[in-house]
Amino acid sequence: MFKNYLTIAWRSLQKNKLYASINVFGLVLGLAVYLFANLLVAYERSHDLFFTNSDRIFTVGSHFSPTANIGINETDGVYSAFAPFFEAEVENVEAVARTIGREYLLSVDNDHYYETVRFADAELLEIFDFTYLGGDASALDDPMGIVLNREMATKLFGTTDVVGRTVLLDHDHALRVRAVIEDLPPNTHLAGNFLDDEGTAVIATLEALNTIDGYALEGNWNNLSMGDYTYMLMPAGTTKAELQPQLDAIYERHFPRKDLLVVDGIKVRKLVEANYVLWDAIGLPILESIRILGLLVLIVAIVNYTNLATAQSLGRSREIGLRKTMGATRGQLVIQFLVESLFVAFIAMVIALALVELLIPLFNVAMDKGLAINHLRELPWLIITTVLVGVVAGAYPAYTITQASPINALQNSGAKGLKGGFFRSIMLGLQFSITIFMLAMVMVMFTQNQKIESASEIYPKSQIITLSRLGVDSLMPRLETLRNELLTIPGVTGVSYTSQLPFEQSNSQFNASLEATGEAEDFLLTNIVIDEQWSAVFDVPLLAGRFLDPTRSADSMSEDATAANVIVNQLALERLGFGTPEAALGRVFYDLRQDSESRSLTIVGVLPDQNYQGFHNQIKPTVFRQIPERFRFAAIRVEGVAMGQAFSAVEDVWEEIVPDYPIQSRFLDDEFNETFQVYGGLSSVLGGFAGLALLLSLIGLFGLAAFMAAGRTKEIGVRKVMGASMTQIVRLLIWQFSKPVLWSLLVALPLAFLAANAYLSFFAERISYALPIVGGAGMLAVVFAWIIVAIHATRVARANPIHALRYE
């Protein structure tokens, strides 16, 4: 019996090859996308599980107050001064380790490399069980000891047998290699996140950082950087729910800067979450979205199958009638049809798996990931998916086709083409709703990306070369010489030193007030360090006043200055309540510093509001000051000559003045593109999904139109005999399909509009015309649908009515 089902299934697939390939192809696409999305999400959610203690390791992050206005909800680390309290006050805590990532120049003999060094408490090696190629977990007990991974050891020394060798940090500090560890697989948060791909290749002690940079070992309450994790090792079985109240209490008891309204709480997470905490932080539920999108594409594919199979099964009503006549019960026939759809689902699953297997290596290389299908482990899931898809897809056709009484089934071979039309219309509508929704989102994201790109044009980014890592003590005295030399390069019109470059997601804020005593209301202002050439290099015009002037000493301040001249933007003026730009000139406000006297700031110039800090930061009230100790970057404006030529001239100048540090130069364009690729990548992923959904929907529509038209052959024949023109018939058929598609617009467009607005709210500079774009996506889908149906309708309408009528 079963064999007979399979025979029939296989042969009816073969008999109608177009139909079969559309059906299998559709399911393959749907399944492949679904499998891939789930594998990716599962992969992202299973990081770090290879550490023996992964269940017992927790990280603590900071939650930002909604009023902090820094574009993210939380970050993955806490102020380093929290750690001693965790150690002392969290019950049963076994070990606490802080890590601080800093970039330093590492030298071995005459080779110099900029590398991120992860400074950590010695307990880090107790918490994570690395595989040691040399040395052991006591490596960091030596304050000047360092741990290298295999890759770094090989890069620095050409071998991994380097325990006892010395690495020179920043030309001054000798660190001893105490251990070499095996490289970590890509599925760990220690390999870096999507914002920076700095892995964990060099580990040193916090004591070393203290020696090198005066880092206070007890920690501080003023620096939060992404990737600087604080870990806690707890006894087995500890839950987040047990830890969170203790952490809340520690925050309440010890956090001294609640008044700042920036960090409003600290939050425990399991180690496995460390990998995706930043998505939560940005507020883009990216993993959930990928999973839902994958499911939606699969649903579109299933609906496709259901619709086509139902339409096609009408052509098999004679077989049904016959089987019933032979004594088949309805249950047996339902099972037969389900076996067929299971069979198709199985074939599709095998092909989809093969496809995913082919894609994974490409994806892994492109995205630096380690996805893999563990077939044995995934088997139950794969089987369940196959069966579910087969049963869900086949249930409706099986139900409809076996419904007819045997006589009807025998007599009306395929004639009842319109039966079940309502259900199929609903299905078609559902399919198009999903497609239109995704299409609209892609178009909104795409337009928004265009917007970001064009917004970034406020700065002449294609004419700027940047230098970074200037914040080194030994470089500071040479910056003026460097600037002067750079200015001699033909085409270089300006060199500006700053604390941060445009588009960089970095926030430095301070407490400001109109009163030095702090008696008046205080509020947060954003702080950007610039110099006198900044306005010229970045083409930012002043609204009022003058720019900073190198000849006036009050225009440049040192860290301990008590008074200085500053430039502010318009938002800062509003925040300070100083009225118009002109009226604000000469007005004074105060920087309320924590441990020292308030500093008075006098406004000498006003800048327009521009988004300097990346794409989803709102433009903030900002104060621009010149503090030479805080210069980190140089921006070199080049005009009238080829950028490449200027670039190598810059390298030559650097080599001459700073021979002891490798140059870190880039084009500002590239910096932008790097930050931008998160959004670009996001919209291409969604674009791919939406494209597939549209393709599937159109394929489905095509197949359905074919069958529906076939079901109306006689009607069309009669109409033609009565004198209907071809256009009238084409219109008739198009209308039949337009109705569900138009209904789907009503469902999809409002949802897409809401989703688009939610997405757009992440951006400071956003398109204001989501509605026409969403509407346009709907139109596009309808036009595509019309074209597909029209092609078919024309063919049917053109046929000679005699053929249509002869077949009864």
806 binds another protein (CB under 8 A): no
CA atoms within 13 A on the CB side of 601: 30
Please state, in angstroms and rounded to a whole number, the distance separating the CA atoms of residues 24 and 297. 14
Q: Assign 8 to helix, strand or coil.
A: helix
Tokens of 337: 């049809």
**Piece of the chain touching another protein by CB under 8 A; list 38-46, 271-279, 319-327, 464-472:** 319-327
**Rounded least distance, CB 183 to another protein, Å:** 57
The burial of 42, by beta-carbon neighbours within 10 Å (0-12 exposed, 13-18 middle, 19 or more buried), is given as middle
Contacts of 732 (CB under 8 A, 6+ apart): 719, 724, 793
**Rounded least distance, CB 12 to another protein, Å:** 5
Span 330-389, contacts to another protein by CB under 8 A: 332
**Rounded least distance, CB 805 to another protein, Å:** 18
Span 765-794, contacts to another protein by CB under 8 A: none
Please state, in angstroms and rounded to a whole number, the distance separating the CA atoms of residues 422 and 739. 11
543 binds another protein (CB under 8 A): no
Angle at 156 between CA 154 and CA 158, to 5 degrees: 40
Closer Cβ to another protein, 319 or 555, answer by number: 319
**Piece of the chain touching another protein by CB under 8 A; list 4-12, 153-161, 368-376, 729-737:** 4-12
Please state, in angstroms and rounded to a whole number, the distance separating the CA atoms of residues 774 and 551. 55
Angstrom distances, CA of residue 582 to CA of 46, 579, 742: 57, 8, 56
Angstrom distances, CA of residue 532 to CA of 177, 463, 546, 627: 44, 19, 10, 11
Closer Cβ to another protein, 394 or 700, answer by number: 394
Binding residues for another protein, total number by CB under 8 A: 23
322 binds another protein (CB under 8 A): yes
12 binds another protein (CB under 8 A): yes
Of the candidates 580, 576, 529, which has an alpha carbon nearest to the alpha carbon of residue 555? 529
**Rounded least distance, CB 187 to another protein, Å:** 49
Please state, in angstroms and rounded to a whole number, the distance separating the CA atoms of residues 49 and 271. 8
Residue 381: phi and psi, rounded to 5, are: -65, -45
Q: Which of 267, 324, 630, 792 binds another protein (CB under 8 A)?
A: 324
**Rounded least distance, CB 7 to another protein, Å:** 7
Q: What angle, 0 to 180 degrees and rounded to 10, lies between the N-to-C axes of helices 17-44 and 2-15?
A: 110
1 binds another protein (CB under 8 A): yes
Q: Which of 84, 370, 406, 687 binds another protein (CB under 8 A)?
A: 406
Q: How many CB atoms lie within 10 A of CB 776?
A: 15
Please state, in angstroms and rounded to a whole number, the distance separating the CA atoms of residues 605 and 554. 13
Closer Cβ to another protein, 337 or 538, answer by number: 337
Angle at 28 between CA 22 and CA 31, to 5 degrees: 135
Q: How many CB atoms lie within 10 A of CB 329?
A: 11
**Rounded least distance, CB 427 to another protein, Å:** 26
Q: Assign 657 to helix, strand or coil.
A: helix
Closer Cβ to another protein, 406 or 471, answer by number: 406
**Rounded least distance, CB 800 to another protein, Å:** 24
**Rounded least distance, CB 22 to another protein, Å:** 19
Q: Assign 87 to helix, strand or coil.
A: helix
321 binds another protein (CB under 8 A): yes
Q: Which of 183, 280, 319, 522 binds another protein (CB under 8 A)?
A: 319
Q: What angle, 0 to 180 degrees and rounded to 10, lies between the N-to-C axes of helices 668-711 and 726-760?
A: 150
Angstrom distances, CA of residue 273 to CA of 43, 54, 55, 125, 170: 12, 11, 11, 20, 34
**Rounded least distance, CB 374 to another protein, Å:** 39
11 binds another protein (CB under 8 A): yes
**Piece of the chain touching another protein by CB under 8 A; list 80-88, 142-150, 323-331, 418-426:** 323-331
**Rounded least distance, CB 415 to another protein, Å:** 14
Closer Cβ to another protein, 413 or 602, answer by number: 413
Closer Cβ to another protein, 412 or 506, answer by number: 412
Q: Which of 326, 366, 376, 722 binds another protein (CB under 8 A)?
A: 326
Contact yes or no for 187/489 (Cβ under 8 A): no
**Rounded least distance, CB 327 to another protein, Å:** 2
**Rounded least distance, CB 419 to another protein, Å:** 17
**Piece of the chain touching another protein by CB under 8 A; list 86-94, 327-335, 596-604, 627-635:** 327-335
**Rounded least distance, CB 400 to another protein, Å:** 18
**Piece of the chain touching another protein by CB under 8 A; list 51-59, 302-310, 400-408, 665-673:** 400-408
Please state, in angstroms and rounded to a whole number, the distance separating the CA atoms of residues 662 and 279. 34
Q: Which of 131, 222, 405, 462 binds another protein (CB under 8 A)?
A: 405
Of the candidates 352, 333, 319, 349, which has an alpha carbon nearest to the alpha carbon of residue 394? 333
Contact yes or no for 298/694 (Cβ under 8 A): no
Strand pairing report for 74-75 and 665-667: unpaired
18 binds another protein (CB under 8 A): no
323 binds another protein (CB under 8 A): yes
Closer Cβ to another protein, 406 or 691, answer by number: 406
The burial of 541, by beta-carbon neighbours within 10 Å (0-12 exposed, 13-18 middle, 19 or more buried), is given as exposed
Residue 99: phi and psi, rounded to 5, are: -135, 145
Please state, in angstroms and rounded to a whole number, the distance separating the CA atoms of residues 657 and 485. 9
Closer Cβ to another protein, 1 or 642, answer by number: 1
412 binds another protein (CB under 8 A): no
Q: Which of 168, 195, 261, 328 binds another protein (CB under 8 A)?
A: 328
Q: Which of 195, 295, 359, 410 binds another protein (CB under 8 A)?
A: 410
Tokens of 248: 């809340």
403 binds another protein (CB under 8 A): no
**Rounded least distance, CB 1 to another protein, Å:** 6
**Rounded least distance, CB 3 to another protein, Å:** 9
Closer Cβ to another protein, 332 or 665, answer by number: 332
- In Å, how far from its chain's centre is CA 248? 30
15 binds another protein (CB under 8 A): yes
Closer Cβ to another protein, 326 or 642, answer by number: 326
**Rounded least distance, CB 320 to another protein, Å:** 10
Handedness of CA 140, 143, 149, 154 (dihedral sign): negative
Q: Assign 525 to helix, strand or coil.
A: strand
Q: Assign 165 to helix, strand or coil.
A: coil
Closer Cβ to another protein, 329 or 727, answer by number: 329
Of the candidates 320, 467, 507, which has an alpha carbon nearest to the alpha carbon of residue 408? 320
Tokens of 151: 């890759």
Angle at 798 between CA 793 and CA 803, to 5 degrees: 110
Closer Cβ to another protein, 21 or 325, answer by number: 325
254 binds another protein (CB under 8 A): no
**Piece of the chain touching another protein by CB under 8 A; list 63-71, 290-298, 328-336, 737-745:** 328-336
193 binds another protein (CB under 8 A): no
Size of the chain in residues: 808
Please state, in angstroms and rounded to a whole number, the distance separating the CA atoms of residues 661 and 112. 7
Closer Cβ to another protein, 407 or 520, answer by number: 407
**Piece of the chain touching another protein by CB under 8 A; list 127-135, 313-321, 574-582, 765-773:** 313-321
4 binds another protein (CB under 8 A): yes
Q: Which of 158, 214, 237, 327 binds another protein (CB under 8 A)?
A: 327
**Residue type at 711 in one-letter notation:** G
Q: Which residues bind another protein (CB under 8 A)?
A: 1, 4, 7-8, 11-12, 15, 318-319, 321-329, 332, 405-407, 410
